[in-house]
Amino acid sequence: DSGVTQTPKHLITATGQRVTLRCSPRSGDLSVYWYQQSLDQGLQFLIQYYNGEERAKGNILERFSAQQFPDLHSELNLSSLELGDSALYFCASSARQATNYGYTFGSGTRLTVV
């Protein structure tokens, strides 16, 4: 158990729908990162929050949004889902804002859009 909790583990939904993925960071970590891993792709950075504030945006679609709550858990909202959004979505957390020391990943949410 890495200490980073992601729910749900699996999600199957139809095109056009909206889903919310949830992440609880490791205790004491203030930064939360969201990554997407599509088939045969590396981990693509989506967005980072630090202590409730958005700090960095990567290749995140406008249909996607995220937030970090006062208790530091984070949610990734995916709307108007398309078949191509099917992927593994990982959350990671770190104590610091920058990443030179790496971070701890959750086990991911596998999203299947049908």
Closer residue to other proteins, CB minimum distance, 13 or 107? 107
Quick check: bond before 70 cis, omega within 30? no
Q: What angle do CA 16, 19, 25 make, to 5 degrees?
A: 155
Closer residue to other proteins, CB minimum distance, 50 or 78? 50
* Residue 91 Cβ vs other proteins, minimum distance, rounded to whole Å: 8
Closer residue to other proteins, CB minimum distance, 15 or 97? 97
* Residue 15 Cβ vs other proteins, minimum distance, rounded to whole Å: 26
Buried b (16+ CB within 10 A) or exposed e, 29-47: bbbbbbbbeeeeeeeebbb
* Residue 106 Cβ vs other proteins, minimum distance, rounded to whole Å: 5
* Residue 16 Cβ vs other proteins, minimum distance, rounded to whole Å: 28
Here the tokens at position 56 are: 């960095």
Strands (E), 38-114: 43-50, 53-57, 64-68, 74-78, 87-94, 104-105, 109-113
For residue 53, list its beta bridge partners.
50
Query: In the complex, which residues of this chain contact other proteins (CB under 8 A)?
Result: 2, 4, 6, 33, 35, 40-45, 48, 50, 55-56, 58, 90, 92, 97-108
Closer residue to other proteins, CB minimum distance, 3 or 16? 3
